[in-house]
Structures are given as C-alpha cells and as structure tokens.
C-alpha cells in the first residue's frame, strides 16, 4: 500500500473500498468486514448511500484500530447549507458510530454549497474532521471555489477511469494541491473494461487482470482509487496492485482510451441536476 500526504499534512491511503449501491444492510456489513480483513483501511461511504450504519457496524466488529482507518462520508444535496451541514454531520457520525471523520466531502456542487463549506470549515477547525473535501467539482467550479474559500479542499473525488481521464481537471488540482480521488475507477463495468484486449494483454505480462491494470494506471498517475466489489476474491484482486509498475509506453497506450466525457452521469443536463435534488 502507498499513501499520499494531503495539503494539510494528513496521510491518506492511495486505495480504499467504495460502498455505493450496497443498500442491503447484511451484504454491506459483510463486504466492509471482508474488505478490512483483506487489508483495506480507507472506506468510502455517503449519507445518500443509506448504508452508514452498516459501515459503522462492520468497523465495530472488525476490531480494527480506529487510528488505522480512514473513514470518508459525504454530505448530500438536501443538506447543502450551513445549518443542514452541521445537522447532517452529526447524523452521519452517529450512524457510523464514530467520534470523528477522517474525510468529509461535499457530494455535489449544488444547493448552498458555500454555506455548507463554512460549516465543514468550522468542524474541521474544531478537530472533528481530519480533512474536508469535495466531489464532482469540474475545473471551472473548483477554480471559483478555491479562489473564494478559506480552507482549500484536501480532495476532489471525481469520475476517473480510462474512458474518462480528465487531464485538465488533474492539472488544475495539482495547481491548488487538491488530491484527486477516482470514483467509478472501473467505469462501473461499462465498455467491457474487464475484458478489454489491450488491458488484458498488458496485464498478462505481469500476471495481472485488466481490473488490476486499470487501478494501477490511476494510482501511477497520482489518483487515489476506491473500487467497489461485494466479492471477497475481487477485493483481494483489486488490492493486489502494489508489486508491479506499468511502463511509460503502457501508460500512453491506456491514455488513448479517453472518450473525453462521462457515460455514467451528465451534470450538464438540467433533468439530471433536478434528479439529484431528490435522492441518488
């Protein structure tokens, strides 16, 4: 495992475990228990995933040392205001059964997210959150935000995988010292990513799968990855990416996959934005 040091000096694992679309409480709890037993220490949940209680229960049962874990949750749009964020933070903490959060993220740049950020800044200064960050902040939004707020986000979690590589977003994050984190590192399985012939061929050289090549490619360009799986064997496979290096040529070959837009979400579609104001 490798680590990155955030812009406030906090150490964050370069790989974690995502729990989106794990609504079944038993399944989620078992998956997080399995992930911790495999070695994952970063767990990425969100209020809107509806599974913070299951994540908290698994953390308790795992017996893992709290200081070794890096627990992330996210503030949903419906709580995107100063008061809403204060309330939502307490709710999430209670559901997770924790005394503090390692990372609290604004889930979307929507609603009164500047007001929400003020609340996060206060909680951060009180020591109740070790780092605060954002998600889905496109470059123009992130630039405006960083030019306005007092505490620069430590992390921006955005969609990052071979089919949507966002080089301009990564360049801007580097400028502001914001750590990029990839959601959907497997493009949620779209485009035949797990059987792609180029990725498979690259992997064969190292005795690795296409999935492992994809994760390795992102961490090698400085991106934290949080793959999701409910299968323990896949968790193990996805975690076994720290003993090989892709060559510059292989990195360049994967760079040609970029189609330059998301096939999962469209934040520029008013109907999608309206849907996010409901539950996601």
Ligand X SMILES: NC(=O)c1ccc[n+]([C@@H]2O[C@H](COP(=O)([O-])OP(=O)(O)OC[C@H]3O[C@@H](n4cnc5c(N)ncnc54)[C@H](OP(=O)(O)O)[C@@H]3O)[C@@H](O)[C@H]2O)c1
Member of 14, 19, 116, 172 binding ligand X (CB under 6 A): 19
Does residue 227 bind ligand X (CB under 6 A)?
A: yes
Stretch that binds ligand X, among 93-101, 162-170, 188-196, 253-261 (CB under 6 A): 188-196
Does residue 134 bind ligand X (CB under 6 A)?
A: no
CB 109 within 8 A of CB 79: no
Stretch that binds ligand X, among 33-41, 61-69, 112-120, 224-232 (CB under 6 A): 224-232
Identify the active-site residue in 40, 49, 104, 124.
49
Does residue 162 bind ligand X (CB under 6 A)?
A: no
Instruction: Mark whether 49 is an active-site residue.
Output: yes
User: How far apart are the C-alpha atoms of 141 and 205, rounded to whole Å?
Assistant: 41
Does residue 194 bind ligand X (CB under 6 A)?
A: yes
Does residue 157 bind ligand X (CB under 6 A)?
A: yes
Longest dimension (CA), the chain: 53
Member of 109, 162, 185, 203 binding ligand X (CB under 6 A): 185
User: How far apart are the C-alpha atoms of 277 and 219, rounded to whole Å?
Assistant: 32
Of 195-214, binders to ligand X (CB under 6 A) are 211
Member of 228, 246, 257, 262 binding ligand X (CB under 6 A): 228
Binding mask 65-104 for ligand X (x = CB under 6 A): ----------------------------------------
Residues labelled catalytic: 49
Residues that bind ligand X (CB under 6 A): 18-20, 44, 107, 135-136, 157, 183-189, 194, 211, 226-231, 234, 237-238
């Amino acid at each position: 495992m490798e680590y990155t040091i955030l812009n406030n000096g906090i150490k964050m694992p370069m790989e974690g475990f995502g729990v989106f679309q794990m609504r079944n409480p038993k399944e989620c709890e078992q998956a997080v228990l399995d992930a911790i037993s495999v070695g994952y220490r970063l767990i990425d949940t969100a209020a809107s995933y509806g599974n913070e209680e299951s994540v908290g229960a698994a953390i308790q049962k795992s017996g893992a040392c709290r200081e070794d874990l890096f627990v992330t949750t996210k503030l949903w749009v419906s709580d995107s205001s100063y008061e809403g964020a204060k309330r939502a933070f307490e709710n999430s903490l209670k559901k997770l059964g924790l005394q503090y959060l390692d990372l609290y993220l604004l889930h979307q740049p929507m609603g009164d997210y500047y007001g929400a950020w003020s609340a996060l800044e206060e909680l951060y200064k009180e020591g109740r959150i070790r780092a605060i960050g954002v998600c889905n902040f496109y470059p123009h939004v992130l630039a405006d935000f960083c030019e306005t707020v007092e505490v620069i986000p430590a992390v921006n979690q955005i969609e990052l995988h071979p089919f949507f590589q966002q080089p301009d977003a990564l360049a801007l994050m580097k400028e502001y010292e914001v750590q990029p984190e990839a959601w959907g590192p497997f493009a949620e399985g779209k485009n035949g990513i797990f059987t792609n012939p180029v990725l498979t061929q690259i992997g064969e050289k190292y005795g690795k799968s296409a999935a492992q090549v994809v994760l390795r490619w992102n961490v090698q360009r400085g991106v934290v990855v949080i793959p999701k799986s409910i299968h323990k064997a896949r968790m193990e496979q996805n975690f076994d990416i720290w003993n090989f290096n892709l060559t510059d040529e292989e990195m360049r070959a994967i760079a040609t996959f970029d189609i330059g837009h998301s096939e999962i979400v469209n934040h520029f579609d008013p109907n999608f934005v309206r849907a996010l104001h409901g539950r996601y």
